[in-house]
Amino acid sequence: MVVRQVQVDLATCKTSPVPPVAASSEPTVQVTKDSQSIVFKGRVVLKIHENHNGFPAGSPGPIMLEGVSPDRKWILYAIDPQGSESRAADGLMLRAVSVATGRSRIVAAGLLYDDYRAWCGGRLVMTAGGDRISTHNKWLIATGPPDWRARVLVKDPHVAFGSLACDGNGVVVQSAPASGVNDNVHAHWSIWRVAADGSRTRLTTPPPGASDESPQVAGSVVYFVRGGWLYALHVGLLLQLLPTTTGYYGHTAWPYTVTR
């Protein structure tokens, strides 16, 4: 079954497909027999030489594009070491390359799910930390150009963070008690707001056996998914959703975008 990203019209609760982004406006990766290049607006921004002698996928490995900064001056990317899916599952090093200079900087290591990072006022907030188990070793950082020096927002050994969204002066994020056990059935996510100074406010308390996941913000309203249903904070249940992934080591991707 193929599940496509949908946008939700909050005036009618009707859904429609999210329009695709024009390929010409996004960076691409060009591959030759001995190199890979990030190309943006018809120009090579970064070129990496690949060794295929004994490495079918190449060494250092395939480039994975992870988006661009809001001002379109930086491209986020990672390198999958020798194309190892197992190593990538435990997190990769996110990097940023300047479109103007081609110089790369390290951002942070973590699980590079799209919903694990968000731009807030020119700064990138990200759930960092390796290990494929979503409730283990995950904290929040804030970073951004030009130096990309990461600042820890919250690092608490008793909790783990996951999917997040910007709310203007901070983020709303799903959080659960920290655990090294791959047990998505008993993961108990709830939604919190984390301010720019790292202070936390709890927004939801799901009932036993349920989790609140995949927060988004539209206007002043926080939306989240509980048991496959889309909710609005202080409003209630809106409509049913289908996941694009079904809990890979505790992470579930819910394909919705709220519009007003």
Per residue in 174-219, pLDDT (tens digit) is: 999 998 776 555 689 999 999 999 999 999 999 998 999 999 999 8
What does the pLDDT look like over 111-159, one tens digit per residue? Answer: 999 999 999 989 999 999 988 899 999 999 999 999 999 999 999 999 9
pLDDT confidence of 74, banded at 50, 70, 90?
very high
Rounded Cα gap, residues 54 and 100, in angstroms: 34
Phi/psi for 128 (5° steps) reads -110, 165
User: 41, 56 in Cβ contact below 8 A?
Assistant: no
Question: Could you tell me the strand order of the sheet in which 256-259 lies?
Answer: 14-17, 6-9, 256-259
Asked which of 2-6, 33-37, 126-130, 220-224 is least confident by mean pLDDT, the reply is 2-6
Which class does domain 6-21+29-259 fall in?
A: mainly beta
Q: How many CB atoms lie within 10 A of CB 143?
A: 21
What confidence score (pLDDT) does residue 7 get?
Answer: 72
Asked which of 1-15, 36-50, 80-94, 168-182 is least confident by mean pLDDT, the reply is 1-15
User: 88, 82 in Cβ contact below 8 A?
Assistant: no
What confidence score (pLDDT) does residue 3 get?
Answer: 43
Instruction: Compare 187 and 16 and report the one with higher pLDDT.
Output: 187
Q: Is 87 exposed, middle or buried (0-12, 13-18, 19+ CB in 10 A)?
A: middle
pLDDT confidence of 239, banded at 50, 70, 90?
very high
What confidence score (pLDDT) does residue 249 get?
Answer: 87
What confidence score (pLDDT) does residue 255 get?
Answer: 87
User: 96, 145 in Cβ contact below 8 A?
Assistant: yes
- Give which of 212, 125, 198, 109 is closest to 155, Cα–Cα: 198
pLDDT confidence of 2, banded at 50, 70, 90?
very low
User: Which stretches does DSSP call E strand in 41-80?
Assistant: 43-49, 63-68, 74-79
Structure tokens at 24: 């010409």
How much is the pTM?
Answer: 0.87
Q: How many CB atoms lie within 10 A of CB 23?
A: 7
What confidence score (pLDDT) does residue 1 get?
Answer: 33
Residues in the chain: 260
How does the average pLDDT of the chain come out, rounded? 88
Q: Where are the domains of the chain?
A: 6-21+29-259
For residues 74-85, give the mean pLDDT: 86
